[in-house]
Chain A
Amino acid sequence: MHADGDGISDMTDSHTHSHPHSHLPDDPVLRVKALETLLVQKGLVDPTAVQAIIDTYENKVGPQNGARVVAKMWLDEGFQAAMLDDPMPKLQELGYYGRQGEHMVFVENTPEFHNVVVCTLCSCYPWPLLGIPPGWYKSDAYRARVVREPRKVLSEFGLMLPEDTKIRVWDSTAEIRYLVVPERPAGTDGWDEDALAGLVTRDAMIGTGLVQRPTT
């Protein structure tokens, strides 16, 4: 145990007094193993639940869900209007509801405004629609920089916006989760939902990418 020396004395803020995690092994692989072994031994965690959670986010829930919603919005004006007004009833109907997606807001890109989403304080992200966030979304560099210099950050993704496009950076500081609705690319008239959904990338729904029609 060690004091972290930040001088805070309030007794209710007990995290600041000691860091029990320092008892665990240094190697993260062993650290996770030690904790899992202990929690299973104590009957606090069911190993089949651990596998079920991993399987959910590896195989079942991911950006294909968000892509489906975006494609529907492009195709159906009524659905689009409902999603922009209050998306939760429709998302519940579609089965795209759950942990970290309880309060969704969809923000649309236009020629005038480009939206991009971050969580500077941690890594808040709309899990039921996009799955688990990619490494870069959780990185210090993205969290620290995209609010201050979005154009430079977007250029690192290969995204160069016209100078007269205004950028709106959404910092997810509460339980509201934002999803960017990219612009539908030209030349996709008559495409069906599956084909359109196939174009919508995870990055386009975070705002670090655009949706492009394949050139081949």
Chain B
Amino acid sequence: MSRVHDMGGRFGDGPITPEDEAVFEKDWHGHALALNLASGALGQWNIDMSRHARECLSPKDYSRFSYYEKWMAGLADLLVEKGLVSEVELETATASGPYALAERQLKGERVAAVLSSGGPSLRENTELPRFNPGQAVQTRTLARNEYVEGGHTRLPAYAAGKTGHVVLCHGAHVLPDTNAHGLGENPEPLYAVAFPAQSLWGDAAAEGDEVILDIWQSYLSPA
């Protein structure tokens, strides 16, 4: 059911090397990030679509690509999917089609304003919160998108079918499961839910340790 990006709890990765590197280790890293942000500003996709584009890379590509290569690949795929560039243009690195959407180009002088205005996901709630802090809840059994087979979801596999308790109510936020697929924002209450680490990982985890995730109301049922 899962996709390759959903790696929380996976075994086999080596130790972490906490080096204090430059913000952009290589020159092209900064360009990869900037191209993603500047293209995103054209308004042809939302953040959930861009996340989904990256996680739809084949497991082979996802594993062999470095971080910003994933961003580049996701961007190229989105640009073609949304009709902003053609596959021929990608292959030849030469523009051939009409300059669609050029009037929406993010100008250099607007960058500071756009980055500092952000893109909040909080919405006026239309659906009442069903759960309160302290309440026991259970996540859906499978970490799957209920609208689109193989679609985007933000419930990691390791937290599916588990029981925890609500620690925070964040208000209503855009639902990625629909927003990633052009099926609307469908905001619903979002909660921080704490799970005892031992309930996720067994006795190897320390008693009293917790893992806390943000989880949408429709992923939850009363426990």
Contact = CB atoms under 8 A, between A and B. Distances in A.
Interface of A: 1, 4, 6, 8-10, 12-16, 19-21, 23-24, 28-29, 31-39, 41-54, 56-58, 61-62, 95, 97-103, 105, 118, 120-123, 128, 131-132, 134-136, 138-145, 147-151, 153, 156-157, 163, 166-176, 203, 208
B91 A52 contact: no
Nearest 8 interchain pairs by C-beta: A48-B108, A43-B102, A120-B8, A15-B56, A174-B214, A52-B111, A21-B73, A21-B76
Interface of B: 5-21, 23-26, 28, 30-35, 37-39, 42, 47, 51-58, 61, 63, 66-69, 72-77, 79-81, 84-85, 87, 89-91, 93-95, 97, 99-102, 105-112, 114-122, 148-151, 154-156, 158-159, 168, 170, 173-174, 176, 181-182, 190, 192, 194, 197, 200-201, 204-206, 208-216
Given A36-B31, A174-B190, 11 more contacts: A20-B81, A33-B31, A39-B35, A41-B94, A44-B99, A49-B38, A52-B109, A120-B9, A134-B20, A147-B211, A148-B205
A49 B23 contact: no
Contacts of A32: 28, 31-32, 35, 68, 72
Q: Which of A57, A95, A135, A168 has the most CB of B within 10 A?
A: A135
Contact of A169 (B35, B76, B94, B212): B212
A39 B33 contact: no
B156 A120 contact: yes
Q: Which of B25, B47, B85 has the most CB of A within 10 A?
A: B85
Contact of B84 (A44, A101, A149, A151): A44
Interface of B, helix, strand, loop or mixed by DSSP: mixed
A123 B8 CA distance: 12
A98 B115 contact: yes
